[in-house]
């Protein structure tokens, strides 16, 4: 069992289209001890229909779905900034893409990781484009059937692309009794691959349980303030909570040990007293 749990702060769209907020979130995640930050990338006209984009929605950017979706979207200028800032802060970054065009856009940054988000696990062209890159890919399994996960795994194995499945329950926010953490063992047994956990709960209970069960990675939605505008804010953790969570995960890494039957010097001393 790997000792180091890879921790990703999912910034996603919680930056609300503001580069200054994104910069602060990257710095906060790095200071908390996260291994990576993750964003979301969409080509709005590819992901959504014109009918949907023209439909009404009130937001800080206007009164249509298009205004809201485009207001949250970063382009080349913003991602150039993200790329340089992450290098300065010695933290990895990557993004979950929602369409093939967005996946191709990210190739210019030569990122170390890719991510398949739960909503796009059934987007076969996107999975193929991602798998062909051969980068270590985190694949979230929320909302998915065994058959759908089977298909995704087959694609990544076809292209010999290293991957890690992530147990995920797509409820925002979710309660501890909805976490179904034993799926971590089920996924590991069925696919013989590393398995992580992508959580949407408030607090740390389910996350620490996942680490205790051997999760290789943890991803949690991250925000500066849960009261900010945005659909993901309420299921996110704030900077002080992220720092606490990272600290607890590092302690749990040590607590879960190796699974080997080892009698330490301390235990041998007790044995000598109690079995004399």
pLDDT at 257: 87
pLDDT at 3: 81
Beta strands in 13-91 (DSSP E): 36-41, 56-59, 62-64
* pLDDT tens digits, 3-53: 899 999 999 999 999 999 999 999 999 999 999 999 999 999 999 999 999
Q: How buried is residue 112: exposed, middle or buried, by Cβ count under 10 Å (0-12/13-18/19+)?
A: exposed
pLDDT at 225: 96
CA distance 59 to 40: 19
pLDDT at 259: 85
**Taking all residues of the chain, what is their mean pLDDT, rounded to a whole number?**
96
* pLDDT tens digits, 90-144: 999 999 999 999 999 999 999 999 999 999 999 999 999 999 999 999 999 999 9
CA distance 179 to 140: 14
Q: Which domains does the chain have, with CATH numbers?
A: 6-274 (3.20.20.70)
pLDDT at 2: 56
Q: Which pair of structure tokens corresponds to residue 12?
A: 């996603």
Whole-number percent of the chain with pLDDT over 70: 99
- SS3 of 162, please? coil
Check: CB of residue 13 under 8 Å from CB of residue 40: yes
* pLDDT tens digits, 76-88: 999 999 999 999 9
What is Dmax (Cα atoms) for the chain? 81
Whether 176 has a pLDDT exceeding 80, the answer reads yes
pLDDT at 8: 98
pLDDT at 133: 98
Give the pTM.
0.95
């Amino acid at each position: 069992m790997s000792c180091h749990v890879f921790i990703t702060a999912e910034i996603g769209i919680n930056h609300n289209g503001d580069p200054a907020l994104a910069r602060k979130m990257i710095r906060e995640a790095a200071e908390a001890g996260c291994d990576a930050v993750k964003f979301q990338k969409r080509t709005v006209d590819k992901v959504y229909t014109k009918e949907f984009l023209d439909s009404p929605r009130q937001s800080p950017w206007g009164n249509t779905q298009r205004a809201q979706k485009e207001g949250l979207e970063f382009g080349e200028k913003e991602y150039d900034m993200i790329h340089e800032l992450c290098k300065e802060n010695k933290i990895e970054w990557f993004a979950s893409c929602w369409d093939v065009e967005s996946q191709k856009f990210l190739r210019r940054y030569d990122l170390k990781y890719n991510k398949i988000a739960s909503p796009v696990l059934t987007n076969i062209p996107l999975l193929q484009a991602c798998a062909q890159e051969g980068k270590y890919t985190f694949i979230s399994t929320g909302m998915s059937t065994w058959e759908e996960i089977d298909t995704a795994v087959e694609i990544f194995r076809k292209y010999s692309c290293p991957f890690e499945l992530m147990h995920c329950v797509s409820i925002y926010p979710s309660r501890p009794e909805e976490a179904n953490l034993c799926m971590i063992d089920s996924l590991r047994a069925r696919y013989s691959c590393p398995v992580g956990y992508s959580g949407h709960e408030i607090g740390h209970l389910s996350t620490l349980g996942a680490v205790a069960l051997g999760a290789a990675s943890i991803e949690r939605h991250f925000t500066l303030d849960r009261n900010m505008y945005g659909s993901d804010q309420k299921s996110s953790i704030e900077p002080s909570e992220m720092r606490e969570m990272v600290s607890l995960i590092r302690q749990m890494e040590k607590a879960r040990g190796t699974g080997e039957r080892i009698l330490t010097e301390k235990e041998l001393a007790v044995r000598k007293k109690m079995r004399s």
